[in-house]
Amino acid sequence: IRKSYHGFHPAPWYLCCRSLSGAGTLRWNDYDRPKEFNFASDVLDYWTQMEQEGKRGPNPALWWVNNQGDEVKWSFREMTDLSRRAANVFTQTCGLQQGDRLALILPRVPEWWLVVIGCIRAGIIFMPGTTQMKAKDILYRLQVSKAQGIMTTDTLAPEVDSLVSECPALKTKLLVSDHSRHGWLDFRSLIKSASPDHTCIKSKTLDPMAIFFTSGTTGFPKMAKHSHGLALRSFLPSCRKCLQLKTSDVLWSISDPGWILAVLGCLFEPWTSGSTIFIHHLPQFDPKVIQETLFKYPITQCLAAPAVYRMILQQIPTSLRFPALEHCITGGEALLPEEQEEWRRRTGVLLYEVYGQSETGISCGTLRGMKIKPGSMGISIPPFDIQIIDEKGNILPLNTEGNIGIRIKPTKPIGLFMCYEDNPVKTAEVECGDFYNTGDRATMDEEGYIWFLGRNDDIINSSGYRIGPAEVENALAEHPAVAESAVVSSPDPIRKEVVKAFIVLTPEFLSHDQDQLTQELQQHVKSVTAPYKYPRKVLDSKIYIFTI
């Protein structure tokens, strides 16, 4: 057993491994919480040490490819070296300090991993965001979080420059690019010249680590703040039963790096087990590229939103018998039993469902090897205790519809978000008796399996994206044709739900061609906010347009 780094129990992950393989006695369980934990020093550097001692196979830690044939393979040793350099860039070159916030808006580029781990080493709170964001989305995030730093690429740098004067807290802009840009620090060059010597902070397990923006029914996205406990949770024996990753596994998580699913599936989960993270740059989603990639590379596990599997099944008629694929996981929206069955029939691999939110990470799921009940999201994963509750937080009888609640009293479980930052009202609103109320509706059966039914509010979940109607209404309101609008969810065979907009036109636009206007309004929404929110076709490829 390895020596402890910060004085907490020796190598809990190792004991977890042993417990998974049925050997050894667990000295550290789902409910213990070390005082100090840091994913960089306690996990990443551990695997670097294992590599150096020849106790881990030759698989890279990160294996990145793109459509142009480029490939990056970094070992754990290289990850340690490069992420220490990143931490030095943040603290020495940028002057960022522990507790400062960095907005991280990158596509799937290898630097994303260096930045996240570099932030964890230096205690900088990282705030991932999707590259689909537009200037207003970014402005809101920078202002509300008072971020001291932002890192992005050429594509979004002009948008950031257009709003930077409105963000007084912002003191550093970092660019990931092969070109330089005035007013921006060149991260790629800085990494090369930075020192690889860095002393990782001794983070308390409950110190803040990351902020995820999450949409609500009304108003702007809230800041769900997570502690280092989010990373620690991937370590716990029960959580590790979900994927049961081994060092020889190659996990491909197909989620945009802006979401919590990527932070878990593309980082904490695989590296906790010393597995290889596989990433395809995938600038545009293309089921054909996914199929080809699963044939070409020795990917053993795949994690993606149901819409991804659905689109592959619908758009690829040819073989889906992938040579190395053993285990598939899905989460982010509901999966239909017939989709699960078709995936099994066409690939020969079972598709296991997990459930979570930006506030919770993965909180329940069908663990690998467990009986799958098609249509169910599986069971709650300790230390989360999920119960179905009423509006007052009372536990409801089995098979009764209610809200999915996660017990927070007497003890808040590790991995659950800390609070909505600077928003005690919203934080209090989701506390319901002894539970955190997820706002999702479900039932629980006699075996503890949870059956998702829908939301208890107006949030729209379209192909795994959580969309607040108000965000779309605000975007529509900026168009001169829109006097008023109401945005709701509408069923869809591919995305399960899509955004549907009811619009009252201003008098000047009453005589306009409605098809053209529909397209114009769709383009308008795509141009002022993240395009995934745009109102898609509902009926006859049109937005419903009402006139007065």
Q: Tokens 């943040």 map to which residue?
A: 90
Minimal distance, residue 160 CB to ligand BCO, in Å:
15
Cα–Cα separations (whole angstroms), residue 327 to 59, 97, 200, 249, 374 = 19, 41, 35, 10, 16
**∠ at Cα 176 (173, 177), nearest 5°?**
120
Q: Which is nearest to 17 in space by CA: 240, 300, 248, 264?
A: 240
What is residue 180's three-state secondary structure? coil
DSSP string, 245-296: --TT-EEEEES-TTSHHHHIIIIIHHHHTTPEEEEE--SS--HHHHHHHHHH
Structure-block tokens of residue 260: 């919590």
Residue 315 or 400: which CB sits closer to ligand BCO? 315
Q: Is 518 in the site for ligand BCO (CB under 6 A)?
A: no
CA gap 118, 104 in Å, rounded: 12
Of 79 and 261, which CB lies nearer to ligand BCO in the complex structure?
261
184 binds ligand BCO (CB under 6 A): no
Q: Does 465 bind ligand BCO (CB under 6 A)?
A: yes
Q: How far is the CB of 399 from ligand BCO (least distance, A)?
A: 25
287 binds ligand BCO (CB under 6 A): no
Show Cβ contacts of residue 126 under 8 Å, excluding neighbours closer than 6 positions. Answer: 101, 102, 104, 115, 116, 119, 120, 209, 210, 211
In whole angstroms, the minimum distance from the beta carbon of 155 to ligand BCO comes to 8
Cα separation, 366 vs 372, in Å, equals 6
Nearer to ligand BCO by Cβ, of 1 and 494: the residue is 494
Residue 188 burial by Cβ neighbours in a 10 Å radius (0-12, 13-18, 19+): middle
Nearer to ligand BCO, 280 or 407 (CB): 280
Distances (CA, A) of 204 to 6, 32, 209: 10, 14, 10
Work out whether 356 is an interface residue with ligand BCO (CB under 6 A). yes
Of 450, 447, 431, nearest to 439 by C-alpha is 431
User: Does residue 362 interact with ligand BCO by CB under 6 A?
Assistant: yes
Size of the site for ligand BCO (CB under 6 A): 23
Cβ distance to ligand BCO smaller for residue 172 or 215:
215
Shortest CB 330 distance to ligand BCO, Å: 10
Please name the residue that has the structure tokens 């906010």. Answer: 529
Q: Interface with ligand BCO by CB under 6 A: which range of 183-191, 302-310, 336-344, 345-353?
A: 302-310
239 binds ligand BCO (CB under 6 A): no
Between 39 and 90, whose beta carbon lies closer to ligand BCO?
A: 39
Residue closest to ligand BCO when measured from CB atoms: 356
Place of tokens 């994927």: 243
Q: What track of x and - describes contact with ligand BCO for positions 113 through 132 (by CB under 6 A)?
A: -------------------x
Q: Which of 463, 489, 518, 529 binds ligand BCO (CB under 6 A)?
A: 463
Confirm or reject binding of residue 257 to ligand BCO (CB under 6 A): no
361 contacts ligand BCO (rule: CB under 6 A):
yes
Give 224's contacts (C-beta < 8 A, 6+ positions apart).
211, 212, 213, 214, 358, 359, 417, 420, 421
Say how far apart CA 419 and CA 413 lie, in whole Å: 13
User: Which amino acid is it at 329?
Assistant: I
**Contact status, residue 20 vs residue 237, Cβ threshold 8 Å:** yes
Answer yes or no whether residue 501 interacts with ligand BCO by CB under 6 A.
no
- Output the smallest distance, CB 188 to ligand BCO, in A: 23
Site string for ligand BCO, 419-438 (x = CB under 6 A): --------------------
Taking the least distance from each CB to ligand BCO, the nearer of 311 and 444 is 311
Min separation Cβ 239 and ligand BCO, Å: 12
Q: Can you tell me the distance from the alpha carbon of 205 to that of 220, in angstroms, rounded to the nearest whole number?
A: 29
Segment interacting with ligand BCO, rule: CB under 6 A, options 118-126, 428-436, 473-481, 526-534 = 526-534
Hunting for tokens 């995934």 — which residue is that? Answer: 532
Least distance in Å: CB of 80 to ligand BCO? 27
Answer yes or no whether residue 331 interacts with ligand BCO by CB under 6 A: yes
Point out which span in 220-228, 267-275, 352-360, 540-548 binds ligand BCO (CB under 6 A): 352-360
Among 260, 381, 472, 499, binds ligand BCO (CB under 6 A): 260
Measured between alpha carbons, how far is 109 from 194 in angstroms, rounded to an integer? 20
Under the criterion CB under 6 A, does residue 464 sit at the interface with ligand BCO? Answer: yes
Where do contacts with ligand BCO occur on this chain (CB under 6 A)? 132, 255-256, 259-261, 285, 305, 307-308, 331-332, 356-358, 361-362, 463-465, 526, 531-532
